[in-house]
Structure formats: C-alpha cells, structure tokens
C-alpha cells in the first residue's frame, strides 16, 4: 500500500536561493507531529523566477512566494495545522498591489498552457514513481502495445509538431527520413545544449521532469528503429546532469530502458554526453561531432544527419522540448494537439521572459499568443512603469521587434516575416533606456566569440560588422557605414555554413530596419538618444533641482563634481568617466544625461 497524505507541500527553486528551506520545512512538519499526514516534496521550476523560492500547498492550491527559512514556523502553524492562508507570503500583483492567495488565480500562471512543462513543479523529478503516478510512461505503453512504428510516425506528422530548437522543421517528417534511411544501426539524440544567455527552458525541463524527455526518446527510437540514444546536456547545468542521470538509472531498474522493454522485444538505452559549453554545439552537425569526440565544428548539409549522422549512421536529432512533447501527443492524440496554436505552428512554446519586464521567468503559452499578452499580461509590464521599446526573440541571433508590432501573434512564420526567429524561445524585453545600436553591438560581440571560425563569412563578417557598430557607438560612424552593414548582413546570412552565421546578422538587420533614426542620431548628431553610449553622452546637473546635498560629490570616483554645500553642483566634463554613479545617487532627479 502506498502512503497517503492529506497535503503535499511542493517547494520549487531551492538550489540557488534557499538551500536551508527544505530541511527547515521537513523538520518543522515532523516536530509538529504532521509527519504522517503532510509531505514535503522538492519539485522542479514553476517559472516564477522573479519571486522564488515558491511553495504550493496542495490540495488547497495556496501559493507562497519568496519564502525564507524564518517563515517556516508560521507557515506550518497557520496553513498546515489550522488551514489558514498566511497573507503576507502570498503573491502580490505588481499593477494592482492586490494579494492573490491561490495559484490558479495568478495571471502569470492562468494565462499559460503547460504542455511540455506539465510536470515541472508538480512532481519530484528524482522519483520515477511520481512520474508514473501522474500518467508517465503511458504513452510508451500505448505505443509498444498498440501501434506500429509507421503509425507512431503518422501520428507525430499529423500533430504538426515542429522542432522546438528553433528551426521549426516538422518532427514527424524528420523521423520518417531517419526510419527510411537504410542502415542496421541508427541513433536518436536529444539536444539540450542550451547556449543562449538568458534562456533556461531546456535546463528547467531536464531538471524538473527528465522522464518526459526519456519517454519521448524511447517512443521516437521505437518509431525510427534506433537502439541507442544520447542526451547532450551542458556541463554548466549540474542539476540537469544529475537528475537526468538518476532518471536513466530508474528507468533501467524498471526495465523501461535496456533489453526487451516491457516485454515487447524492443531494446533501447540512453547515454548522457556532457557538453563543454560552446554555443555552436547547439547546431546539430557540430553537436554530433562533439558526441563523436571531435571539435564541435559544423559541416555542410546535405548529407543531413537523417542520412549520415553519428559515426556515419542515420541519426535523428531533436531538441529536448520536442522530445517532451511526444508523450502528450501520443496519449492525448494528434487531433488534440492540433487544436493548440496557429495554422502552421501547432502546440505550445516556452519562452524565457527576461530583461526589463516585471515578472521574469519561464512561461509556456499556445503558439499565436501576441507579444503584448506575453509581455504585459503574463510579464506584468515594464519595470518601473517605463516605456516598452523593443523585444528581442530567439536568443542572441534573434531580431529586435519594435512597439508597433506588439500585437504580432508569435509563431515561426510571423517572427521570420518581421526579421526575427523563434530560436530557443529567448525573449529579452527592452525599455526606453536601451540603446538599440549598443544592443546590436553587444550581441555581435557575443556571436564573434562563439563563431567556431570554420567558414569565412561568419568568422570575418561578424567581426567586421562588430567593428563598424563599435565605431558608431563611439561617435566615429558615417552614414555610408549603414549601407556596408546591410551588405555584410546579407553576405553573412547567405554564405555562412551553419545556423550560427546564417542568423547572426539578425540583431543588426532588424535594428537597422526598425530603429534607423537611432543609428542616424549616433552618426549625424553624435547623440545616443537612450543615454547609453558613453562617448556620446554627457552628464550634467540641473541647477534648479540640485539642493547641494553633496552626496554625488562625495561618491564621484573621479572627484569630477564640485560645489559648495547647499549650492548647485557642477560636473567637470574633462574628468567625468560617465559611470552614472551621480545619477543613481541623486534623490532629486537633478542629474541628467544628454
């Protein structure tokens, strides 16, 4: 008989914020004599990254945010003993300042649709029993018991699932190519090499629900005819590596991996390959080279991995999120899945919402949701009530989308039309204090470092574009540079070997397209309208607002500020290094940037 508890306390985001919270809770529950009726569960990420650690008390659905070990006695006494809500620990909506005690009522959650992240934060990721209890491995049972490999592929094709790594190739067709490729040995690979700064959905999935990825891979391997799989995960994700490792061990113990899975005669096993952290290894041919033990460089396609992948054998490679979609598609059916999303983009997409937005975190939404809903309803709007300027989608090589396009429904095609990409699902929100030229420069600087250097357009082209952008931010640009940038962007996009180079010009091209005036202001007027580019800005003190409090003068690292007590101060421009300390310190808004 299983143990029966009346309440489960699900604790998320422990590893970074409060490692002492879980033991404190467990101890308090035990000390209060609740050990046999209340269970404390360490669960995966709920995406509420702006306010962790979070606790969900089930079955009541009471949700607590920012819980610290010191809050534990009150939480246990009030909620677990007496059944009352601890008001002060509940979520407060930024706009209305209203407290929302129940998880289901919080807009950040209620506007989402969790398909891939269905179990993240709900189950203990290191327990295969909890995964099975919520219906895990039922899709595998259905496939092995009632479906032929061809039927599985048909179902996935019918679902309309497209690659969640960002390129959006139809998953079912990819499987079919690999199945039809002639060879005795075939492989399946899960791409968890999440390299975008600010994107963490693959990590969250592998940490919070590793069995869903394993189950998808076993189903895929059966459909394709593979007997060995690899999960490629970055070694910077130690908890993901650990939880996937535990999951594989558990699946082997239960006979869900290994020989003769569930008595079906089908053999399949999975190995973890740890990546060393190169951005380019997210590109499939570079990733395969890395698994083989070679340098992670891409190679020209064709031949595609479906024909010639790992060690020259047909290999099906999908993103970990694509794999995690598979069990749901099989269990609920392709028709159910097709109802979600837009005409050409079915299902959901996970975005990591970061930047100048109130509710930063991981959100899973149906394809076709507008940027406005994502940023203002789920994201809770821009920090500090400032104005929205742009959002960059798809990671460092995505494009910047301006405010005019906020009502754009998000799917693969629409994002491409406006000069961006779905990519990994990174979503960086920028406000009016962001300089778009500087943003383009920043991302190209990242891409320059991450270019593997194998092909010339990417290696040299990015470097040249970066040099021009740097020149513009320093006030030494010419209008002719913009033309050169356009040309370089075109060449790098068309002539690069792999996805890294082909998408690298996006930040430049999209900002040129939507923020041309800002480039012109840098070049012609020698001004940075957002007040970011140091060579083009000047800090000054407004005499009528300055009270002569002397705070800025004392803290200026250059002693560039002078003035008597209670008299207006002035900044000596020849000494100023534009660090902005004076502006941050001034309580009277007397320091301005021009």
Partner 1 sequence: MPKLRSLEELQKLREQLQGGIRARTATSTTITVGMGTCGISAGAREVMHAILAELDRRGINAHVTTVGCIGMCSKEPLVDIQQGDEPRVTYGNVTPAMVPRLIEEHLVRGSVVEEWVVGRVGG
Binding region for partner 1 (CB under 8 A): 1-8, 10, 36-37, 39, 58-60, 80-84, 122-123, 129-130, 132-135, 137-138, 141, 144-145, 253-256, 262-263
Between 139 and 401, name the residue whose CB sits nearer to partner 1. Answer: 139
Question: Taking the alpha carbons of 117, 121, 124, 126 in that order, is the dihedral positive or negative?
Answer: positive
Between 121 and 379, name the residue whose CB sits nearer to partner 1. Answer: 121
Alpha-carbon 4 to chain mean position: 36
Cα atoms found within 13 Å of the Cα of residue 479, Cβ hemisphere only = 6
The SS3 assignment for 9 reads strand
Between 42 and 377, name the residue whose CB sits nearer to partner 1. Answer: 42
Q: If you ran DSSP here, which 8-state letter would residue 292 be given? A: T
Between 254 and 376, name the residue whose CB sits nearer to partner 1. Answer: 254
Between 1 and 480, name the residue whose CB sits nearer to partner 1. Answer: 1
> In the complex, what is the shortest distance from the CB of residue 64 to partner 1, in angstroms, rounded to a whole number?
16
Between 68 and 259, name the residue whose CB sits nearer to partner 1. Answer: 259
166 burial via Cβ count (<10 Å: 0-12, 13-18, 19+): buried
Closest by Cα among 224, 115, 208 to 161: 115
370 burial via Cβ count (<10 Å: 0-12, 13-18, 19+): middle
**Interstrand relation of 228-234 and 269-275 (parallel, antiparallel or unpaired):** parallel
Distance CA 112, CA 198 (A): 20
Backbone torsions φ then ψ of 548, nearest 5 degrees: 70, 35
Between 60 and 460, name the residue whose CB sits nearer to partner 1. Answer: 60
> In the complex, what is the shortest distance from the CB of residue 44 to partner 1, in angstroms, rounded to a whole number?
13
> In the complex, what is the shortest distance from the CB of residue 255 to partner 1, in angstroms, rounded to a whole number?
3
Helix, strand, coil percentages in the chain from 3-state DSSP, rounded to 5: 45, 15, 40
> In the complex, what is the shortest distance from the CB of residue 321 to partner 1, in angstroms, rounded to a whole number?
23
> In the complex, what is the shortest distance from the CB of residue 61 to partner 1, in angstroms, rounded to a whole number?
10
The SS3 assignment for 342 reads coil
Between 82 and 97, name the residue whose CB sits nearer to partner 1. Answer: 82
Between 98 and 252, name the residue whose CB sits nearer to partner 1. Answer: 252
> In the complex, what is the shortest distance from the CB of residue 146 to partner 1, in angstroms, rounded to a whole number?
9
> In the complex, what is the shortest distance from the CB of residue 60 to partner 1, in angstroms, rounded to a whole number?
6
> In the complex, what is the shortest distance from the CB of residue 130 to partner 1, in angstroms, rounded to a whole number?
6
> In the complex, what is the shortest distance from the CB of residue 36 to partner 1, in angstroms, rounded to a whole number?
8
Task: Confirm if 537 and 563 have CB atoms less than 8 A apart.
Answer: no
Closest by Cα among 428, 435, 417, 432 to 473: 435
Distance CA 76, CA 90 (A): 14
Task: Confirm if 537 and 589 have CB atoms less than 8 A apart.
Answer: no
Q: Is the peptide bond before 302 cis (omega within 30 degrees of 0)?
A: yes
Let me know the angle formed at the C-alpha of 123 by 119 and 125, rounded to the nearest 5 degrees.
95
Between 105 and 525, name the residue whose CB sits nearer to partner 1. Answer: 105
Between 89 and 144, name the residue whose CB sits nearer to partner 1. Answer: 144
Q: How many CB atoms lie within 10 A of CB 568?
A: 15
> In the complex, what is the shortest distance from the CB of residue 422 to partner 1, in angstroms, rounded to a whole number?
32
3 burial via Cβ count (<10 Å: 0-12, 13-18, 19+): exposed
Between 20 and 36, name the residue whose CB sits nearer to partner 1. Answer: 36
> In the complex, what is the shortest distance from the CB of residue 32 to partner 1, in angstroms, rounded to a whole number?
11
> In the complex, what is the shortest distance from the CB of residue 322 to partner 1, in angstroms, rounded to a whole number?
24
**DSSP-assigned states of every residue in 206-230:** HHH-HHHHHHHHHHHHHHHT-SEEE
Between 185 and 262, name the residue whose CB sits nearer to partner 1. Answer: 262
Task: Confirm if 7 and 59 have CB atoms less than 8 A apart.
Answer: yes
Distance CA 525, CA 284 (A): 45
> In the complex, what is the shortest distance from the CB of residue 124 to partner 1, in angstroms, rounded to a whole number?
9
């Amino acid at each position: 008989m299983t143990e029966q508890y009346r309440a489960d306390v699900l604790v998320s985001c422990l590893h970074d914020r409060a490692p002492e919270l879980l033991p404190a809770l467990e101890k308090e529950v035990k000390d209060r004599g609740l050990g046999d009726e209340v269970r404390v569960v360490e669960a995966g990420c709920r995406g509420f990254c702006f306010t962790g650690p979070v606790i969900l008390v089930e079955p009541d659905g009471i949700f607590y945010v920012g819980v610290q070990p010191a809050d534990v006695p009150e939480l246990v006494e009030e909620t677990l003993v007496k059944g009352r809500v601890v008001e002060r620990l509940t979520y407060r909506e930024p706009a209305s300042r209203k407290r929302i005690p129940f998880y289901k009522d919080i807009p950040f959650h209620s506007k989402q649709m969790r398909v891939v992240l269905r179990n993240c934060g709900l189950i203990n990721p290191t327990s295969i029993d909890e995964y099975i209890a919520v219906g895990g491995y039922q899709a595998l049972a259905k496939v092995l018991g009632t479906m032929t490999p061809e039927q599985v592929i048909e179902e996935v094709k019918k679902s309309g699932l497209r690659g969640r790594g960002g390129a959006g190739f139809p998953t079912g067709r990819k499987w079919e190519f690999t199945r039809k490729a002639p060879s005795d040995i075939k492989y399946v690979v899960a791409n968890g090499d999440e390299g975008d700064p600010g994107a963490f959905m693959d990590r969250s999935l592998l940490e919070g629900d590793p069995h869903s990825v394993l189950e998808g891979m076993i189903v895929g391997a059966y459909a394709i005819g593979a007997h060995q799989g690899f999960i490629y995960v970055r070694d910077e994700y130690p908890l993901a590596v650990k939880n996937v490792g535990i999951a594989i061990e558990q699946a082997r113990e239960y006979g869900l991996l290994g020989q003769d899975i569930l008595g079906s005669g089908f053999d399949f096993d999975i190995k973890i390959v740890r990546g060393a952290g190169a951005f380019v290894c997210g590109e499939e041919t570079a990733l395969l080279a890395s698994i083989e033990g070679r340098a992670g460089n891409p190679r020209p396609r064709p031949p595609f991995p479906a024909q010639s992948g790992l060690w020259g054998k047909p290999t099906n490679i999908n993103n970990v999120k694509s794999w995690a979609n598979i069990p749901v598609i099989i269990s609920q059916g392709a028709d159910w899945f097709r109802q979600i999303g837009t005409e050409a983009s079915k299902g959901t997409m996970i975005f990591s919402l970061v930047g100048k937005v109130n509710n930063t975190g991981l959100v899973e939404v149906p394809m076709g949701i507008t940027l406005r809903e994502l940023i203002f309803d789920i994201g809770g709007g821009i920090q500090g009530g400032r104005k929205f300027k742009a959002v960059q989608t798809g990671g460092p090589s995505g494009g910047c989308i301006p405010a005019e396009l906020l009502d754009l429904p998000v799917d693969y095609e629409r994002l491409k039309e406006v000069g961006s990409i779905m990519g990994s699902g990174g979503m960086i929100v920028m406000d009016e204090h962001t300089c778009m030229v500087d943003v383009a420069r920043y991302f190209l600087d990242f891409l320059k470092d991450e270019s593997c250097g194998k092909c010339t357009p990417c290696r040299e082209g990015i470097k040249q574009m970066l040099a021009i952008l740097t020149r513009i931010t320093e006030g030494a640009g010419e209008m002719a540079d913009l033309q050169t940038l356009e040309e370089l962007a075109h060449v790098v996009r068309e002539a690069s070997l792999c996805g890294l180079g082909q998408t690298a010009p996006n930040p430049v091209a999209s900002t040129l397209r939507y923020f041309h005036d800002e480039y012109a202001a840098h070049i012609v007027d020698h001004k940075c309208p957002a007040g970011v580019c140091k060579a083009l800005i000047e800090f000054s003190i407004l005499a009528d607002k300055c009270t002569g409090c002397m705070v800025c003068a004392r803290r200026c690292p250059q002693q560039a500020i002078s003035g008597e007590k209670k008299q207006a101060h002035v900044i000596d421009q020849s000494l100023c290094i534009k660090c902005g300390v004076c502006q941050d310190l001034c309580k009277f808004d007397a320091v301005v940037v021009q």
